[in-house]
Structure 1
Amino acid sequence: MHLQTDRQRSTIRPLTDGNLVAQAAALVGMSAWSCDLASEALEWTPGVFDIFGLDAGTRFERQDTVALYCEESREAMLRLRAGAIETPSAFSMEAQIRQPGGELRWMRLAARTRVENGRVVQLYGMKQDITQDRLRWEDLRRLAENDALTGLGNRARFQSEFLDLPEGSERLARIGALALFDLDDFKGINDRWGHAAGDTCIARFGQRLAETFPNAALVARIGGDEFAVALPATVRPAALEMAMRRRLGRLVTQVEWQETSIPIGFSAGLAFLTGSPEAAFAAADAALYRAKRSGRNALRVAA
C-alpha cells in the first residue's frame, strides 16, 4: 500500500458548517428536535414536521404531538422520557405514530438531557423516518413466519408463539385450548387429482380455518396437511368444546378446482391447557389420531 509523505498529508478539520450538517442529516432522513422542560416548548427542524405530517406553521402543544403516538409507542416513550429526566440519562427507541390524516409512520427517536445546576432543563435529540425500513422488515418477518401456501403461521411461528411459551407467562394464560386438524385421505386427493389440486385444498382449508376461528390466538399450518389453532381462554372448557363442534360444519365442503368439485373432510383433536404447551400438544395429537381411526369428519377431545 502506498503511504503519503508528510507534505501530502492534511489535517482533518472539524465540520462547523451548520447548513452542511443539516443537509447531510437530511440525506438519511434525520432531523433535530428539542423540548424545554420548564415551558414544554418544542423546537423542530423541517424533517420532524414531515414525520408528523404537520405544516411548519401549525399551532400545537407538546400534548398534541404526544397524542399522535400509537398507544404502545406512547407508553414506552413516556416511560423512557421520565426515566431519562429522573436519572438523568439518554434513551433511544423506535416509535409508531399516526399522522392527522391517518397515515401510519415509524420513526427512530434518540434523546439526551441537558443539565444546569444539577437539574435537567432540556431534552434534545434526533428523529429519523424509518417507515420504509420497517415495511421491508415486516415483509421479511412475514416470509420467515408465515406459510407461503396458506398465508397462515408456519411451524416456526407455532414453535415460538405456542410451544416455546413458558408456563405461567401472560401470553400462555390467554390461550385456553389447542386444536389440531388433519385432512382426511389427503394422499388420495393427490393421487387422484394431482399435487396442484392437493395444494389448492390445503390453501382453501387454511382459509376456512382462519375464517371459522377469527378470534384464535394463532392459526398455523404445522405440517403437510396438518393445522393447529390456539383457542382463546375466554370461555369455560365445556362451552368452548360446544362452540367448536358447532363451527366444524363450516370446514366440511367442496373445493372447486379446474371445473371439478373435490370433497374435503378432516379429523380434529382438542386439548385444554392444564400444564405446559408441549403437554397440550401431545394430548391434542393423541386425540387427533383417535379421531382419524374413528372415521371422517370426527373430533375427539383429550381426556
Structure 2
Amino acid sequence: MSLQDAEARRLYDQAMQLAGIGAWECELATQQLSWTPGVYDLFGLPRGSTLHRPSTVDLYTHDSRIEMERLRAAMIRSGKGFVLDARILTAGGISRWMRLSADITHRQGRPWRIYGAKQDITGEKQMWQGLRQLAYSDPLTGLANRRAFEAQLSELRRIPADGSALGTLALIDLDMFKPINDHLGHAAGDECLRQVALRLEATLSDAMTIARIGGDEFALLICSTAGWSHIVHRLNQALAALSLPVTWNGRLIEMSASIGATMLLPGRHHDPDRSFAEADSALYVAKASGRNRLHLFGEPLQGQPGDAMQGALADMRVLRAG
C-alpha cells in the first residue's frame, strides 16, 4: 500500500539514522550551511546549533581538509560532483571516518549551491583495517609479512635526491634454526621467532619496515639522515641483540643470525628485485663466511682476505645473473 507523506518521511528518517547518513547544503554566496540531524550527530554538535563553516572545516584532519577543499574548488569550477572518505575529529575529540558525497546546482548559469550527504563509515573503515591487518601482518610475530614488505619496497623505487635520507635494505636469516625445531619442537622455534621480532623492534624502532618474509627470514627497510656508518652501527646492534640466548621452558636456546644489506642511494632509481638480490647476495656471503655477522653488498668482510674474495665473487655472480 502507498504510505502517507508523514509516514514515508518517518520511515525515511529512521533508515537514514540507522545508516548514519545526514544531508547537508551550502549556499555559495553566503557560505550558509544547513544540516539534517544526522550530520550534527556525526560531528558531535548539538542538533540545531548555529553553524559556522570555518569552525566545521577545522574538525577535518589536516590531510582530509586539504583534499576536501581541493575537490570542492574543482567541483565549483567544473560542475562535477565528488565522493571523498575523510577523517574528522568530533567536537568531543572522537576520531571518525565520514563519506562525503557532494554535487552542485546552478542558477542563471552560475554556481549557486552545493549539497550532498555525509555518512559515518567508521565501522566500515575499522572492518577493512582489520582485514588489511590480517592480509599484511604475520600472525606469529605481529610484524609485517612478505606482501607488506614488498609493497613498501616497491614504493622506494626512488629516494629523493635532496641528500636528507639514505636507504638500506637488510635481510636477516637465523643461523642453525632448523635444529631448534628438529630437537626441541616447533613451540620452541616459534618462541625464538617471537623473540627475534621483539628484539628487532626494540633495537630498530625507527625502521620504516620490519617484516618476517619466510620461516626464519626477516627483512628491514631503514631510512636515516645520519649516514651510512650510523646505519651499519644500528645493524650491528641488532646483530648483537639477536645473538643473545632465548629462554624457553626453563632452558637457554643459543641463537645467532646473519645479516646482508645493500644501500639505496638518494636520487637513484631502485629496482626492487635487484635491490633484494643484492641484499640476498650479501646475506649469502655472511652465512658462508662463518655466520653471526653482517655483510654489506660490494664490500669485503673486514680483516678476512679469503672471505673478502668470496664475498666479491658472490656479489658479482648475483649482478651477472640480474
Query: How does the TM-score come out when normalised to structure 2?
Result: 0.83
User: Residues 14, 300 of structure 1: CA spacing in aligned structure 2 closer, same or farther, 3 A cutoff?
Assistant: farther
Give the structure 2 partner of residue 34 of structure 1. Answer: 25
User: Conserved in 1, the CA contact under 8 Å of 2:166 and 2:228?
Assistant: no
Instruction: Tell me: CA distance 1:29–1:88, structure 2 relative to 1, closer, same or farther (3 Å).
Output: same
2:125: which partner in 1? 134
Matched, 1:282 2:272: no
Alignment of 1:226-237 (within 5 A): 226-237=217-228
Deviation at 1:60? 4.5
The C-alpha deviation readout for 1:10-66, integer Å capped at 9, x for no partner, is: 9x8997944433222222221111112222221111111111112225445211111
Residue 115 of structure 1 aligns to a residue whose secondary structure is strand
Alpha-carbon separation, structure 2, partners of 1:59 and 1:31: 17
Paired residue type of 1:39:
T
What pairs with 1:197-216 in structure 2 (closer than 5 Å)? 197-216=188-207
Task: Name the SS for the 1:153 alignment partner.
Answer: coil
- Indicate if the aligned counterparts of 1:175 and 1:217 stay in contact, CA closer than 8 A: no
Mean alpha-carbon deviation: is it higher for 106-115 or for 244-253? 244-253
**Equivalence for 1:95:** 86
Note closer, same or farther for the CA distance 1:175–1:27 as it changes in structure 2 (3 Å cut).
farther
Residues in 1 aligned to 2:114 and 2:75: alpha-carbon distance in whole angstroms: 9
Tell me which moved more, 197-206 or 92-101.
92-101
Look up the match of 1:86: 77
Letter in 2 for 1:138: Q
Range moving further from structure 2, 96-105 or 142-151 = 96-105
Q: Distance in 1 between matches of 2:246 and 2:49?
A: 56
From 158, 163, 188, the counterpart of 1:168:
158
What amino acid is aligned across from residue 145 of structure 2 in structure 1? N
Secondary structure of 1:268's partner?
A: strand
- 1:116 and 1:110 map into 2 onto residues whose CA distance is 21
Deviation at 1:203, TM superposition (A): 1.2
Whole-Å Cα distance in 2 between the matches of residues 252 and 209 of structure 1?
A: 12
Instruction: Give 1:209 deviation, angstroms.
Output: 1.0
Q: Deviations over 1:118-166 (max 9, x none)?
A: 221211111111111111110000001111111111111122221x347
| Residues 174 and 256, structure 2, Cα contact 8 Å, conserved in 1 | yes
Residue 155 in 1 paired to residue 150 in 2? no
2:60·2:86 contact (CA, 8 Å) conserved in 1? yes
Q: How does 1:260-279 map to 2 (within 5 A)?
A: 260-274=251-265, 275-279=270-274
Query: How high is the TM-score relative to the length of structure 1?
Result: 0.88
* Contact 2:243–2:256 (8 Å) recurs in 1: yes
Task: Identify the match of residue 136 of structure 2 among 130, 145, 149.
Answer: 145
Q: State the partner residue of 1:3.
A: none
How far did 1:80 drift?
0.6
Q: Does 1:300 align with 2:295?
A: yes
Residue of structure 2 aligned with 1:122, choices 101, 113, 116:
113
TM-superposed CA distance for 1:234, in Å, is: 2.5
Alignment RMSD (CA, Å): 2.3
Aligned length: 290
Measured in 2, the distance between the counterparts of 1:200 and 1:243 equals 24
Q: Would you say the 8 A contact 1:216–1:231 is kept in 2?
A: yes
Cα distance change, pair 175–113 in 1 and its aligned pair in 2 (3 A): farther
Gapped runs of 5+ residues in structure 1?
A: 1-9
Match of 1:291 among 281, 286, 292: 286
Q: What amino acid sits opposite 2:272 in the alignment? A: P
Match of 2:309?
A: none
Q: Secondary structure at the match of 2:96?
A: strand
Q: How does 1:234-273 map to 2 (within 5 A)?
A: 234-273=225-264
Structure 1 CA distance, aligned partners of 2:198 and 2:36? 47
Unpaired stretches in structure 2, ≥5 consecutive residues: 299-322
- Does structure 2 conserve the Cα–Cα contact (< 8 Å) formed by 1:176 and 1:234? no
Moved more, 48-57 or 142-151: 48-57
Cα distance in 2, alignment partners of residues 60 and 261 from structure 1: 65
Confirm or deny that 1:22 pairs with 2:17.
Answer: no
Equivalent residues of 2:85, 2:97 under 8 A apart? yes
